[in-house]
């Protein structure tokens, strides 16, 4: 395995439904699963590493959902319909170019403190 390129977390069908229409979230999740499979992003031999996906309950954004958080960039997209998730996967995850107009939050990792 060549490591992990990205981890995608989708608040698709949250328990408290604070994050958009759960029917849209469920459809977006189905599309994401299909895309990851069809594009071979789960292939452990993929030179750029695998793309992991997780259906999360709540990502603490709770508006403009369904929301999709992508690590390691810490970029959260809002209004993630099946059509949007297709563009996000193709342009951001595969192409490396985030779609600025759909980004609702950026939460980069903090830098580790030096030892001592």
Chain residues in the site for ligand FES (CB under 6 A): 11, 14, 18-19, 58-62, 65, 67
- Cα 72 to Cα 36: distance, rounded to the nearest angstrom: 17
How far is the C-alpha of 114 from the C-alpha of 104, rounded, in Å? 31
**Minimum Å distance from CB 103 to ligand FES?**
15
In terms of CB distance, is 37 or 60 closer to ligand FES? 60
Q: Which is nearer to ligand FES, 30 or 42 (CB)?
A: 30
- Give the position of tokens 């895309």: 35
Least CB distance to ligand FES at residue 68 (A): 10
Residue number with CB closer to ligand FES (58 or 99): 58
> Smallest distance from the beta carbon of 25 to ligand FES, in angstroms?
8
Half-sphere exposure for 100 (CA within 13 Å, toward CB): 0
Q: Does residue 84 have a cis peptide bond before it, meaning omega lies within 30 degrees of 0?
A: no
């Amino acid at each position: 395995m060549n490591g992990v390129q990205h981890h995608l977390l989708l608040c698709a069908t949250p328990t408290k439904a604070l994050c958009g229409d759960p029917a849209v979230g469920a459809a977006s999740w189905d599309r994401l699963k299909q895309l990851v499979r069809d594009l071979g992003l789960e292939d452990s031999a993929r030179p750029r590493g695998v793309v992991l996906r997780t259906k999360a309950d709540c990502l603490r954004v709770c508006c403009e959902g369904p929301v999709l958080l992508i690590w390691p960039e810490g970029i959260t997209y809002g209004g993630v319909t099946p059509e949007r998730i297709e563009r996000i996967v193709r342009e951001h995850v595969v192409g490396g170019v985030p779609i600025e107009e759909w980004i609702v939050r950026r939460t980069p990792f903090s830098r580790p403190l030096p030892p001592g």
